[in-house]
Structure 1
Amino acid sequence: MIEALQYNFIQNALIAGILVSIAAGIIGSLVVVNRITFLAGGIAHSSYGGIGLAIYLGLPVLLGATVFAVITAILIAMLTLNNRKRIDSLIGIMWAFGMAVGIVFVDLTPGYNVDLMSYLFGSIIAVSDNDIIYLTILDFLIIGLVVIFYKQILAVSYDSEFASLRGISIKFFYTLILILSALSVVAAIKVVGLILVIALLTIPTYLAEMYAKCLSSMMIISSIIATFFTIFGLIISYFYDISSGASIIIVGVFTLLLAKLLGKK
C-alpha cells in the first residue's frame, strides 16, 4: 500500500476519504442525536436529481448535487415541521422524485455513457484535484457553521422546548442541521456513493456514543472512527480489487458488531 501512495489517484483517494470522514463524523453525530437518519436518507437519494441535472447541463457533478441537496433539505424541513405525522410519506415522495429526475436528465443527455453506478456506490479512485478543493471548502463550511452555532445546535438537539424558551429559533436550526446533512451527503458521494452514505454517517456515531460524554467529543471521536474505516477500507479495496465504498462500510459494520460483543462481555 505504501508503494501505491506514489500514484496521484491514490493520494487523492486518501485525502478525500479523510475529508469526508471529518464531515461524516460531525454531521453524523447531529443526524443520530436528532433522530433524522431517515430524513438524511431522503436527502441523499433526492440529490441524485442534481447529479442528473449537472450532467445534462455540463456542470460539475458535485456542484449540481450540492444545490439540489440543499434545496431538498429546505423543502423537507418546511414540510416535516408542519406535518410530522406524514414524514414517511413525504420523504418517500421526495426520494423517488429526486431519483426519477436524475434518471430522466441522464437519459436526455446525448452521448453520455459514464457508469452511473459510481455515484450510487462510490468511486473514490476517480476523485480529481478539483474534487479535493471542493471537499475542503465543504469541510471548512461545515466546521465553521457548527463551531459558530454550536450552543444553539446543542440546545435544539437535546431539548427543543428549553431552546425555544431561551429564544432560539427551532425552525432555523432544524433547517440548518438538514442543510449540513445535505452538504455531508454530497461530500460522501465520491467515497461511498448515495446508497451507502447513511451507513458512513451513522455507524461511527453509534460507536462514538459508547465513549463520548458530550456532543463535541462525539463529533471528534466519530470523525476519527470514520477516518479509520475509510483508510482500512481503502487498503482492503486496493489489495483485493473490490469496491472501495462497500469495503469501507463492511469494515464499519464488522467493527460495530465487534464493539457491541466486547461491550456485552
Structure 2
Amino acid sequence: MELIVEILAAPLQFAFMQNALAVAVVAAGVCGLLSCWLVLMGWSLMGEAVAHSILPGIVLAQLLGVPMAAGAFVFGLIAVLLIGGISSTPVIKRDTSIGVVFTTLFALGLVLISRVPSQTHLQHILFGNVLGTSRTDLWQVLALGLATAAVLLLARRDLTLLAFDRTYAHTVGLSTAALSALLLVLLALTTVTALQTLGIILVVAMLVIPGATGMLTCRTFGRMLMVSSGGAVFAAVSGVYLSYWLDLSTGGTIVLMQSTLFGLAYVLAPHKGLIARAARARRTAAAA
C-alpha cells in the first residue's frame, strides 16, 4: 500500500507534473466528449483537418506576439470555412476538400517555420510538450476546456438529434446548419485545448479513439458520453504517470493507453465485442 502511495504521490511534488496532469485531464475529458459526436456523424477526418490546419496560425501568433490559442483558433475556423466552401461545389466531395485544405495549410505552416524567425519548436507543436506546461498555459487550457464542455453539455440534446437524424432535426425546427457550425467551432476550440498536451498529430487520436471505444461498449448515447470522456481521462492520468516512471513520450503514452482501452473494448465489449459477436454467430449457426 505504501508503495502505491509513493508511486502516485512522488511525481506530484514537482510543479511541472501537477500542471501536466491537470492539463492532460482537461484536454482528454473535452476530447472524449466531442469525440462521440464526431464518430457518430462520420466527421473523424474533419478533426484531423482542423488539427493540421492550425499550424500556420501558431507560427503567426508567435510572430505577432499574440496568444498561440488565438492564432490556432482563427486558422481552425479558416480551415472549416474553406472545407465547407469547396465541398459545396457539386464536383468536389467533402473528403477531397478536406484533403486539399488541411495539406495546403499544414504545408504553409511548415514554410513559415522554415522562413520566419520565431521561438516555435516544430517537434513540440507536432507531438506536444505537456511537461513544459506553464501555469499560464494551464489556466488557458482550463478556460477553453470548461467553456467547450459547458456548451457541448448545454446543447447536448440538439446536437445528439443532429447526429442521429439530420432530416428529423430540420423537421422539428432546428437549424441544422447552425448546429453544424457550432460543432465545428467547438472542434476548433477543442483542438486548441488539446494541442499543448498531445500536439497536432496525436490530438487526432484523442478526437476519434474515445468515441469509438464508447460506441463499442455502450447502447445509449448518455452512457457513451460518460465512457468516452471517463476512458480518455483515465488514459491521460495513467499515461502521464507511466511516462514519468518509464521516461517515455507523454503524449504518445496517453494515446497508447487510449488505444489499449479501445483494443479491450473491441474484444470484450458485451454486445459489440469480438467475443460476443462470435458467440452470436455460433448460436445462429447452431439454430440453423
* Same structural fold, with TM-score higher than 0.5 when normalized by the shorter chain: yes
Cα contact 2:148–2:186 (8 A) shared by 1: yes
Partners of 1:184 and 1:102 in 2: how far apart?
A: 20
2:218 equivalent in structure 1: 212
Where in structure 1 are there 5+ consecutive unaligned residues? none
User: 2:111 matched to which residue of 1?
Assistant: 104
Q: CA deviation at 1:92?
A: 1.4
Q: Does 1:173 align with 2:183?
A: no
Structure 1 Cα separation of the partners of residues 64 and 116 of structure 2: 8
Q: Does 1:26 align with 2:33?
A: yes
- Alignment partner, residue 11 of structure 2: 4
2: CA distance, partners of 1:100 / 1:77: 20
Query: In the TM superposition, what is the alpha-carbon distance from 1:10 to its structure 2 partner?
Result: 0.2
- Greater Rg by CA: 2
Residues 91-110 of structure 1 show CA distances to partners (whole Å, capped at 9, x for unaligned) of: 11211221122223323433
- Larger CA deviation: 15-24 vs 75-84: 75-84
Q: Against the structure 1 CA distance between its residues 216 and 73, is the aligned structure 2 distance closer, same or farther, given a 3 Å change threshold?
A: farther
Q: After superposition, what is the alpha-carbon deviation per residue over 1:6-36, rounded to whole angstroms, capped at 9, x for unaligned?
A: 1111000000011001111111111101110
Q: Is residue 92 from structure 1 mapped to residue 102 from structure 2 by the alignment?
A: no
Shift of 1:192: 1.3
Equivalent residue for 2:274?
Answer: 264
Mapped pair 1:190 → 2:196: yes
Alignment length (residue pairs): 264
Cα deviation for residue 176 of structure 1 reads 1.3
Pick from 209, 230, 234: which aligns with 2:236?
A: 230
- CA–CA distance in 2 between the matches of 1:238 and 1:161? 49
CA–CA separation in structure 1 for the residues paired with 2:247 and 2:115: 33
Identify the residue that residue 134 of structure 2 maps to in structure 1. Answer: 128
Residue in structure 2 matched with residue 255 of structure 1 by the alignment: 261
Distance in 1 (alpha carbons) for counterparts of 2:204 and 2:120 = 24
Give the TM-score, by structure 1 length: 0.92
TM-score scaled by length of structure 2: 0.85
* Runs of 4+ off more than 3 Å: 77-85
For structure 2, the 5+ residue unaligned runs are 1-6, 276-288
Query: What is the Cα deviation at residue 81 of structure 1?
Result: 5.0
Contact 1:53 1:106 in 2 (8 A): no
Q: 1:18–1:227: 8 Å Cα contact kept in structure 2?
A: yes
Identity of aligned residues (%): 28
Q: Which letter maps to 2:222?
A: S
